[in-house]
Amino acid sequence: MPSVTYVDYQGQSTQLELAEGMTLMQGAVMNGIEGIEGECSGSCACATCHCYVDESWVGKMPPMSENEDDMLDGTASERKDNSRLSCQIKMTAELDGIVIHMPEEQG
Ligand code: FES
């Protein structure tokens, strides 16, 4: 299974293997990774699954929807160029090894 590394605000990292099709938010919540909340369960309606995609992965990400773009304007921590909603990123073989960073706050 492809792997993802979650890096928390303090720099501690946890690597998990996720089934393809599972979102990075689901992987975090189901495995007790702190720093990603996912209050709306992945409906793209809360922005508490905000993450920063590691710079080395930014160019490999699937494009974001207009809805995700709008929701990212309401994140608790600063929106940056590499901000994404982790509930909108599905694990695929192409994303094997992806690294995401959690923001300081999720609101
Ligand atoms: S879980 Fe709510 S927007 Fe991602």
Q: Where are the domains of the chain?
A: 3-101
Q: Where are the alpha helices (DSSP H) in the chain?
A: 24-30, 66-71
Helix, strand, or coil here: 79?
coil
How confident is residue 39, by pLDDT bands cut at 50, 70 and 90?
Answer: very high
Q: Which of 95, 105, 87, 5 is nearest to 40 (CA)?
A: 87
d(CA 97, CA 37): 22
pLDDT digit string, tens, across residues 40-82:
999 999 999 999 999 999 999 999 999 999 999 999 999 999 9
Atom of ligand 1 nearest to the CA of 87: 4
Question: 40 CB under 6 A from ligand 1?
Answer: yes
Decide if pLDDT at 107 tops 90.
Answer: no
Question: 44 CB under 6 A from ligand 1?
Answer: yes
Atom of ligand 1 nearest to the CA of 50: 4
Q: In 1-107, which ranges are E strands? A: 3-7, 13-17, 50-53, 83-85, 98-101
Q: What is the pLDDT of residue 74?
A: 96
Question: 49 CB under 6 A from ligand 1?
Answer: yes
Position 78, amino acid: E
d(CA 4, CA 78): 23
The CA 17 to ligand 1 mean position distance, Å, reads 21
**Strands 83-85 and 13-17, sheet pairing:** unpaired
Question: 39 CB under 6 A from ligand 1?
Answer: yes
- Mean pLDDT score across all residues of the chain: 97
Q: Which class does domain 3-101 fall in? A: alpha beta
Q: What is the pLDDT of residue 104?
A: 96
